[in-house]
Amino acid sequence: MTLLIPPRTQDIGFTVKRLLPSRLKQRVGPFIFVDHMGPAHFEAGTTAGDVRQHPHIGLATVTYLFSGAMMHRDSLGIVQRIEPGAINLMTAGSGIVHSERLPDDVRESKTTVEGIQTWLALPTDQEDCDPSFAHYASERIPAINLTGIKGRVLIGEAFGISSPVKTASKTIYLDLELGAGADYRPDFPQQELAVYVVQGEISIGDDIIPEFHVGVLDQSAVIKTNAGARIMLFGGEPLAGDRFILWNFVASSREKVRGAGERWTNGGFTMVPGETDWIPLPKV
């Protein structure tokens, strides 16, 4: 292991554990943002937990839920409910606006909402592509069931299994449950790798990675657990060049992210059909 990244607690209307970007490391492969959302539940008759419409450029968002549900709406006119096990992949490219709200049935039943939201930075030759959206239902995401290891291949290829999720650069994203005494060596040559411990504790050599921490791995890393753990393995091929982040914008130049902020403030983005409330650009 080369680096241990602790979580930072953020309040975005509900509590999230933010792992990337970190002052210790901006990104792993294309992953430039990783939030563990919840677990949380929300009172009926309120809008707590709703994220009003807001813009993105230069990235693709990946939403993956463990429990609960969310309703996605965007400026392309897409309306999509996401439920546990499914993947929502929204490619912002030159610019997209979306909202994420709790469905009424989830709010009324006080169902626990929990999941992982990540951003994938786009390669520089694709950061200005047309925006797009793809939904992959849970039954389309392939499962793994091996001795001591079970889980799912969310993005990329592992254990001889390929995910149908298509990304702009080579990416690996796995949801794995390791049994007691498990011993797993990730084998993804030429890819940067990290592991997030969702539940339990793992060890890599003499290093312990506690619950809710990220460990950045080297190519010889072997993941072990005594009592079992749930982990997210993520990474991919390194992206060339620098990336700059301003609020919800990612780009290969400061001018692009600043320009996107001005564009949002001046009403230059297409908005979500039927929605009127929106999040202003934060004051820096």
Domains of the chain, CATH where assigned: 3-236 (2.60.120.10)
Whole-number pLDDT of residue 283: 86
- Reduced to 3 states (helix: H, G, I; strand: E, B; else coil), residue 104 is helix
| Spatial separation of the C-alpha atoms in residues 241 and 121, rounded to whole Å | 11
pLDDT exceeds 90 at position 131: yes
pLDDT tens digits for 78-96?
Answer: 999 999 999 999 999 999 9
pLDDT tens digits for 4-57?
Answer: 999 999 887 778 999 999 999 999 999 999 999 999 988 888 888 899 999 999
| Spatial separation of the C-alpha atoms in residues 222 and 151, rounded to whole Å | 18
| Three-class DSSP labels, 112-175 | CEEEEEEEEECCCCCCCCCCEEEEECHHHCCEEEECCEEEEEEECEECCEECCCCCCCCEEEEE
pLDDT tens digits for 176-217?
Answer: 999 999 999 999 988 999 999 999 999 999 999 999 999 999
Taking Cα atoms as reference points, which of 11, 10, 13, 12 lies closest to residue 21? Answer: 10
Average pLDDT over residues 113-121: 97
Name the DSSP letter for residue 227.
S
Strands lying side by side in the sheet with 79-82: 51-56, 96-101, 70-74, 79-82
Tokens (6 digits) for 184:
């797993």
Summarize the chain as % helix, strand, coil (round to 5). Answer: 5, 50, 45
pLDDT tens digits for 229-276?
Answer: 999 999 999 999 999 999 999 999 999 999 999 999 999 999 999 999
Q: What's the pTM? A: 0.96
